[in-house]
Amino acid sequence: MTSEHSRNCYTVLTNLPPHPGKSSTRFVCISDTHSRTSYFVPPGDILLHAGDLSSWGYPDQMEKTLSWLASLPHSVKIIVAGNHNDISILEATRTRMRSQSIQDTGIYYLEHESMVVTTTSDRSWKVYGSPAAPQYARGAFQYSTPEEAKEIYRRIPNDTEILLTHTPPYRILDKTRKGVHAGCRCLAERLQMLKSCKLHVFGQVHYCRPIMHIHECSGGEIMITDTGERIAVNAAVAWDTQPIIVDLANK
């Protein structure tokens, strides 16, 4: 799909489109791989992984995922965690993902924090990553009240251009099979204030009435905002869907 308003576009991978060249940055978006490494991930400038990298974040699971990510051709791979992290080993997992040896492979782990990444075309993008999600079951990075959610998402800088969250916002690619919108209302409210955000990538949907863990709403959508466009991507690949390519104009 190509927007009528700009050269920004997103593609659900079927036939791999040619890279637009130095005028654009190609983002390749995945999420919820849960220790699986058999996916075909197309090349691009920046890989974005929106969380649930492994089944529970145990060392052998994480090493498998990190080795796979390191083998991918993208010079920069930006990742967040997710609720599928065991709280008891969280510090060890965090230390490993922040290590210099991991960064040397181009992998950068964000946990409620920002980074600036500059492409070979000298376009610098301001990226923010959050692993947070509504309370679902056991696991890390979960919040249970609107007050907690608002405090978490208030940390997102207003000048963020690329937003990476584990959970989706309310009513944006968050619908369950039964037609229920299960995204986070507080995240949706915060997005209305992020005027510079051009791309929001997220993963699974949590729905707690009854408790369900849902990945079936993957895809992309172009949102019209007060200041232009924002591309929303539910990048969950846990149901054998494909990675999503987003080409953003370098302007």
What distance lies between CA 124 and its chain's CA centroid? 18
DSSP states along 72-131: SS-SEEEE---S-S-GGGHHHHHHHHTSHHHHTTTEEE-SSEEEEEE-TTS-EEEEEEE-
Rounded Cα gap, residues 73 and 178, in angstroms: 38
Q: Which of 70, 67, 60, 94 is nearest to 80 (CA)?
A: 94
Superfamily of domain 9-249 in the CATH hierarchy: Metallo-dependent phosphatases (3.60.21.10)
The confidence score (pLDDT) of residue 23 equals 95
Domain boundaries, the chain: 9-249
Mapping DSSP to helix (H, G, I), strand (E, B) and coil, where does residue 148 land?
Answer: helix
Whole-angstrom CA distances from 135 to 87, 144, 146, 158, 246 are 14, 5, 11, 26, 30
Residue 35 · residue 133 · CB < 8 Å: no
The confidence score (pLDDT) of residue 6 equals 44
The confidence score (pLDDT) of residue 112 equals 97
Reading the chain (251 residues) residue by residue, the pLDDT tens digits are 333 334 566 666 557 889 999 999 999 999 999 889 988 899 999 999 999 898 888 889 999 999 999 999 999 999 999 887 878 888 988 999 999 999 999 999 999 999 999 999 999 999 999 999 988 767 789 999 999 999 999 999 999 999 999 999 998 988 777 777 789 999 999 999 999 999 999 997 654 444 444 444 568 899 988 888 999 999 988 656 789 999 999 98
DSSP-derived secondary structure letter, 156:
S
